[in-house]
Amino acid sequence: MKVICLVNEKGGSGKSTLSINLATALHRAGKQVILLDADPQGTARDWRDASPADADLPPVLAADRPNTLTSAFAGIHADFVVIDAPAKAEAMSAAIIGKSDIALIVVQPSAADVWASAAIVKMVQSKRSLGGVIEAAFVVNRATVGRNLTAEITSGDWNEYGIDQLENFVSDRESFKTSLAKGLSIFDTNDSKAKAEIELIIQEIENEKWF
Digit-coded pLDDT (tens) for 8-50: 999 889 999 999 999 999 999 999 999 999 999 999 999 999 9
Task: For residue range 122-169, list pLDDT tens digits in order.
Answer: 999 999 999 999 999 999 999 987 777 778 788 887 788 889 999 999
Task: For residue range 39-95, list pLDDT tens digits in order.
Answer: 999 999 999 999 999 999 999 999 988 888 888 888 899 999 999 999 988 899 999
- pTM to 2 decimal places: 0.94
pLDDT at residue 45, rounded to an integer = 96
Q: What secondary structure, in 3-state letters, does 77-126 show?
A: CCCEEEEECCCCCHHHHHHHHHHCCEEEEEECCCHHHHHHHHHHHHHHHH
160 vs 142: CA distance, rounded Å: 21
56 vs 129: CA distance, rounded Å: 40
144 vs 14: CA distance, rounded Å: 14
User: Closest Cα partner for 92 from 127, 126, 64?
Assistant: 64
β-partners of residue 105 are 7, 138
pLDDT at residue 176, rounded to an integer = 98
Cβ partners under 8 Å of residue 204, min gap 6: 166, 167, 168
84 vs 10: CA distance, rounded Å: 13
Query: What burial class does residue 194 get, using C-beta atoms within 10 Å of its C-beta: 0-12 exposed, 13-18 middle, 19+ buried?
Result: buried
Query: Across residues 88-107, what is the average pLDDT?
Result: 94
